[in-house]
Amino acid sequence: MRAQGFQTLELRGVGRRFGRHSALRGLNLSIQQGEFIALLGPSGCGKSTALNCLAGLVPLTWGSIWMDGERFDQVPCEKRGFGMVFQNYALFPHLTVRGNVAFGLRMRKLPKAEIRARTQEAIRTVRLLDQADKLPGQLSGGQQQRVAIARSIVLEPAVMLMDEPLSNLDAKLRLEMRTEIRQMHQALGLTTVYVTHDQEEALSLADRLVVLRDGLVQQIGTPEDLHHRPATWHVADFMGFRNLFRLKVDRRAEHGNTVTLRGNGLELDATAVGSLSAGDTVVVGIRPEDVVVEPPGNLSEPVGEPGSWARTGRAPTGTVLDARVQVVEFTGREFAVQVRIGDEVALHLRTPQRLVAGDPTRVQLPVHRMLAFPEEVESGSSPWVGAPTSHGRGTGSPKESEVGPGPGTGSGAGTGSGARPGSGEQPGSGARPGSEAVSQ
């Protein structure tokens, strides 16, 4: 019954309702042995619920969990053999570090000598030997965290579940522990499911990420997938697309995915993610790092003349706009700048140039970095990720069938620049094994 050395753990349409509120709906995910999966999303998105369902702490309302083809969701929590690290660590306050670590081994009624040896070894792994006889209340946050981890790894769990384990630590310790967790995952060959709301943490740790919002999967993919090819603007928002504007599609290029957008006194080109047609409202986004600032001294030439950009050796493949510098913050290596474009639209960018507040400047928004997403009619629905529609969400029209004309065509070879959306399969197309988020 206890899972040791499994191959795949599969969640099929897993959902959970609390009262009238659906905390999680239709989660399809297949986890391979040895993978590091991060469940990512804002608070209340259902990521902790998903973890608790996996741990067996919360029964499923819908769906099932399978381990190597055997139904697993009926197995009680204590028989699953999963380790779990809680957000508040949940260390037993009346037991010493040693007692906490040995607890699970005692429950298995192992011989005393083995318990002692394995406990000692686990405490050594997390470097707490000198604290082993203290009570949890006498330890610092980071040490408590390590006890919580030691307590789980000592049982050699089939799957390690972590619920925002670093959120109570300070920034420096968080970075250290992050590295330690990843190292431990690799060294012990663990399979880890990690819940976090910190996209940086998720990107740096995980082999694959599951982005959730309002209990629905937004996207499942590798960190690169999500970083370069967010499926919805919510994912983009989470992935550092700080500049997000609502604009209208003016026209579509005859071939390719380029669309021209209008609104707020702006006219700019962007790459369509999903099927867009003229008149649609879109949310268009770009990362501050991807905005290019005109080198100083070239401002005399009018917008539209490609001359100045040509001289710098960069191909002008984006919209060039006049801007006015508003706020300049020095961040160490570069400047974080807020400028105004169009009808007083704020645009955040990063540049090594020393800009001065109040000065005019000129920015270029590269087409392939400027992603235009369909604006959902109702929150929770998403154009590609065919989430289950048991609640009759919206029109249901922008579904997989319509992914075709967008970047989901899979014609990756023709898209050139590596960061072009859709140069790989989109989750909705169901082409990527193991990362499907298909409607049931």
Which stretches of the chain bind another protein, using CB under 8 A? 55-57, 76-84, 86, 88, 90-94, 103-104, 107-108, 135, 137, 151-152, 155, 161
| Choice between 95 and 173, CB closer to another protein | 95
CB 147 within 8 A of CB 126: yes
Can you say whether the dihedral through the CA atoms of 198, 199, 205, 209 is positive or negative? positive
Least spacing, CB of residue 88 vs another protein, in Å? 6
Place of tokens 């005393």: 112
Least spacing, CB of residue 140 vs another protein, in Å? 15
Residue 341 CA to residue 253 CA, distance in Å, equals 24
Give Cα separations from 357 to 287, 321, 341, 417 (angstroms).
21, 17, 14, 34
| Choice between 104 and 383, CB closer to another protein | 104
Least spacing, CB of residue 107 vs another protein, in Å? 4
Least spacing, CB of residue 112 vs another protein, in Å? 16
Residue 323 CA to residue 346 CA, distance in Å, equals 10
Per DSSP, helices labelled H in 6-76 are 47-55
| Choice between 66 and 103, CB closer to another protein | 103
Least spacing, CB of residue 50 vs another protein, in Å? 15
| Choice between 19 and 332, CB closer to another protein | 19
| Choice between 132 and 272, CB closer to another protein | 132
| Choice between 51 and 235, CB closer to another protein | 51
- CA quadruple 385, 388, 391, 394: dihedral, nearest 10: 30
Residue 27 CA to residue 42 CA, distance in Å, equals 16
Kindly report the three-state secondary structure assignment for every residue of 144-184: HHHHHHHHHHCCCCCCEEEECCCCCCCHHHHHHHHHHHHHH
- Taking residue 262's Cβ as centre, other Cβ atoms within 10 Å add up to 14
- What residues pair up with 68 in beta bridges, in sequence order? none
Least spacing, CB of residue 120 vs another protein, in Å? 18
Least spacing, CB of residue 154 vs another protein, in Å? 9
Residue 320 CA to residue 262 CA, distance in Å, equals 14
| Choice between 152 and 382, CB closer to another protein | 152
Contacts of 18 (CB under 8 A, 6+ apart): none
Least spacing, CB of residue 92 vs another protein, in Å? 6
| Choice between 155 and 217, CB closer to another protein | 155
